[in-house]
Structure 1
């Protein structure tokens, strides 16, 4: 039965919408996901999932299910026509607790995300319901959803659903974005690519190769479950249907496979690359995320991951606003924090595409001459191998408290590390599993909660924040524990190294694991007052006043 009211209505059951729904379900928010299709999409899509996305799936208890469909630590090599490796992307560090590059099969991961929703009585997934219109009332939205059949044809009258918030996760053509009149600025690349997936992988090697051949550029990828993917450039002016035909597909595969191989083709599809972004991700009570907010070429595999970052950033903010803990202004920080980073990912993807398929002969010549030379320079080789070129999130403004002017070299506004920790029983695990999907205050060695005044305690109660003290593993975890908090052991010294370089001994973490603030214990109350203001939380300051409903109580 389709609910006629909810806190958050999500249009689109792709990876961004499903991830957002899992975050909201974990936080106990009444959520409806409406999808016009009769089933989740099952054709060639994203093939790379990064450590930040895996951490988001970890936060909602699905990382193990997702990782069953991945190839961890997948290496990406750029190879010239003579077989020389010009660049190799192969990071080994795991600062966020997971491998930085992973091959995966998106339809199977989407299925795990959809199955994850069945855990939550507060979440409904409604297939065969198409978005038609939205009315923003100022206090919420009235959305018309039309029941449709498998072919998308209407089967009944529209159903009106009222919600506090509408989030369009409905792809690059986004009816939700169009309904509220948000522009979608950018460009579409002229080149098209044919993607072919083969079963019973005839090659079997575990990584990714970009073949930089001026006459015949192509991409070869190893995917889980015995699948091999090839991507071939479609010539200008070629007929798309003819290029997808059996004859053309077999002719292309014959150029990259031994003559006696008879590949088993399971799917093929032509794609065009786009580089577009909406100027804002919010219009009143309506927000957009994932491909509805931004599109990018596939070359760095960041379209999927950028959408997951959107969902991770947005989920806890929608929860606070839906419960009345924070006012609607908190949602303005979604664009403030996500827009610049999404734009940087688009530019990186465009740049890689221009290196792989240069637009003119001079650029191709420069690539072919300089590539082999640069690959011999150690610092350049390491810079590429360790993915130092990848833009990392940094928030100069938003729901964060910089100690002074925003500092891109400082820790505030960046993703916090995820070290291994141990509890008093000696059980070792990842940090996020110990603290859960919530705010957390983490201090080094000494308890800091004695410095908190009543106003700070009310704010932390409203946020359902966890207090944590981390100590060297050789010290007792039972002495001087914070009231109602945790004491954890720094298993490998990562915390000590982090705090040694930080401007304070207490870090305030948001549920999306962004560092909201760093300070000393005596600065905590002033820091938390400013954070509450930036979170748009208006708490009474008298001890007798009742705090708003907390995240924990509502869930």
Structure 2
């Protein structure tokens, strides 16, 4: 950040930065960490005097933990998590479904409980690593405007001192009531559930049982969730006529707790808050040089714990793209792929959360009857129960257009598709729509027809097994290759026959080359050229992955999604095509390296003086 008071008289400070982020919640903090690692100048603006210190989100998935790993903060976070945190649905005292996904293909448990204030604090402290990331807490954004070369932001601190910030790009990560989104006048489409819930967080857990329980009580549904460090969360449905003020009174809180804990008058409360479930999605996540992320772009009901995780996915998707554009590696057109890739998946996650809410707390007697009949089928249809229990319904990110080289997705067509469109606002329609999102499923094929992308991993997240490095140490896959583009060949040198043009493109992206081979071969080095990383496949997971795909060379993006696949002899052509897809800039002067003590794998990227496309 640079401050120049001469440009703005009357004691107004002038700030120059590459990216301004409004909102120091988890999404804004994560984007700041990602950009900080890439050497990008960031100014983080937050109206509160400190980051929020009370519990909010309680569920962290494997994808989000992988993003914490990518910014070097997973080890700090782990002491504040409970891995393998199952979600159990109960009805009339019986558990009818326990969601227990036990796979770890991305390197971490799929469901984890965590303490959000501690996680946010770790992200905030992580910014201390970067002299080029500035934090302006207690600063209110009064207005902003953009032109073809940047965004101007007017702000003031708690004492009324005024500042003007000039940024190349602005990220609005300022929550569901986003000032940025409202100023842009973007539609925020969706619905608000009619019923409210009261959230009660307590210390010294009065129950002590692990996991999270969703009690489908007909009179008053409630949630009981065990969290790390002896904290427990309760959520009770607010009934008609009840208010937050009345429910928060000690005798009413004791009444809520009476059927849940042994001593309702001896509960150590942290906070109590009534909230409404919203399911809303912005019409776009980008307006020229201004982008939305997290709750500013989408909000969803809490029932699958995906609000926080979806925001972290936004940060991971947007962070590397912003860095590439700011550093001149790519034209601004690359940022269009952010909305293209993230919005469709967010919509699926909103549907998932709504379906879970429909099952847990139907809003009508008919809904309860349908739910009970649906649950009753579990005993006679074990395959359906496995589908629910193993969390196969969770829509995984799958980018079929954007910053990937993938077959085009077939158009939604046919009578069933049109019926689902009309049923989308109903509970059965949301359930069927969610199940059809998995295009390789039977329902998906009936609705959409054959999926041209089913046979390729392009657009999906790559696995993360343990691998052996050349110094014999064992690490997770991502830690072996760094936060950068990577070309990985199974058992063979991916640089053989690479043209000078392809090498130049990959060098401009700051990419690396990797040979993955059986661990037994790691002591043989003659097959590893200079400048190529060798990793040993310890447990055969990489070999199994490559055995199931049609090509043997994978091109990975910094966010660990597969950008392209090809045969070894087609690497050069694929790199050139991917460069065009990424809207790469021509080579010019190098972007300045900052914070030499912090690894910046993409710092070899080149800044171009060409105008933004």
Is TM > 0.5 for Structure 1 vs Structure 2? Answer: yes
**Which of 286, 294, 308 is equivalent to 2:290?**
286
Identify the residue that residue 434 of structure 2 maps to in structure 1.
none
Query: What is the aligned length?
Result: 543
SS at the partner of 1:524? helix
Given the alignment of the two structures, is residue 130 of structure 1 paired with residue 176 of structure 2, yes or no?
no
Distance 2:385 2:77 in 1: 31
Runs of 5+ consecutive residues of structure 1 not aligned to the other structure: 149-154, 541-545
Identify the residue that residue 399 of structure 1 maps to in structure 2.
403
Given the alignment of the two structures, is residue 60 of structure 1 paired with residue 71 of structure 2, yes or no?
yes
Q: What TM-score does the superposition give when structure 2 sets the normalisation length?
A: 0.86
Identify the residue that residue 244 of structure 2 maps to in structure 1.
240
Give yes or no for contact 1:14–1:169 (8 Å, CA) kept in 2.
yes
**Which of 405, 410, 420 is equivalent to 2:466?**
420
Deviations 1:61-99 (A, max 9, x none): 001111111110001100012x21111101111010000
Identify the residue that residue 93 of structure 1 maps to in structure 2.
103
Kindly state the Cα deviation for residue 385 of structure 1 after the two structures are TM-superposed: 2.0
Identify the residue that residue 563 of structure 2 maps to in structure 1.
516
Distance 1:274 1:165 in 2: 29
**Which of 2, 26, 29 is equivalent to 2:37?**
26
Give yes or no for contact 1:44–1:269 (8 Å, CA) kept in 2.
no
SS at the partner of 1:21? helix
Residues 300-309 or 488-497, more deviating: 488-497
Give yes or no for contact 1:172–1:294 (8 Å, CA) kept in 2.
yes
Distance 1:294 1:237 in 2: 29
Identify the residue that residue 347 of structure 2 maps to in structure 1.
343
Identify the residue that residue 146 of structure 1 maps to in structure 2.
156
Matches within 5 A, 1:272-421: 272-375=276-379, 377-402=381-406, 407-421=453-467
Kindly state the Cα deviation for residue 509 of structure 1 after the two structures are TM-superposed: 0.4
SS at the partner of 1:451? coil
Give yes or no for contact 2:407–2:453 (8 Å, CA) kept in 1.
no
Identify the residue that residue 543 of structure 1 maps to in structure 2.
none
Distance 1:101 1:533 in 2: 37
Kindly state the Cα deviation for residue 479 of structure 1 after the two structures are TM-superposed: 2.1
Identify the residue that residue 151 of structure 1 maps to in structure 2.
none
**Which of 515, 525, 535 is equivalent to 2:572?**
525
Distance 2:242 2:121 in 1: 34
Kindly state the Cα deviation for residue 260 of structure 1 after the two structures are TM-superposed: 7.0
**Which of 229, 247, 264 is equivalent to 2:233?**
229
Give yes or no for contact 2:22–2:46 (8 Å, CA) kept in 1.
yes
Kindly state the Cα deviation for residue 44 of structure 1 after the two structures are TM-superposed: 3.3
Give yes or no for contact 1:313–1:334 (8 Å, CA) kept in 2.
yes
Matches within 5 A, 1:168-207: 168-207=172-211
Distance 1:222 1:102 in 2: 11
Residues 1-10 or 477-486, more deviating: 1-10
Give yes or no for contact 1:44–1:195 (8 Å, CA) kept in 2.
no
Distance 1:385 1:403 in 2: 32
Distance 2:605 2:333 in 1: 21
RMSD: 1.7
Distance 2:381 2:123 in 1: 43
Given the alignment of the two structures, is residue 46 of structure 1 paired with residue 57 of structure 2, yes or no?
yes
Distance 2:455 2:387 in 1: 18
Given the alignment of the two structures, is residue 489 of structure 1 paired with residue 536 of structure 2, yes or no?
yes
Distance 1:5 1:367, change over 3 A: same
Residues 368-377 or 36-45, more deviating: 368-377
SS at the partner of 2:480? helix
Give yes or no for contact 2:176–2:295 (8 Å, CA) kept in 1.
yes
Give yes or no for contact 1:44–1:268 (8 Å, CA) kept in 2.
no
SS at the partner of 1:97? coil
**Which of 131, 138, 141 is equivalent to 1:121?**
131
SS at the partner of 1:64? helix
SS at the partner of 1:314? helix
Deviations 1:455-508 (A, max 9, x none): 111111111101100001111451221331201101111111111111211100
Kindly state the Cα deviation for residue 377 of structure 1 after the two structures are TM-superposed: 3.3
Deviations 1:11-31 (A, max 9, x none): 000010001111011111101
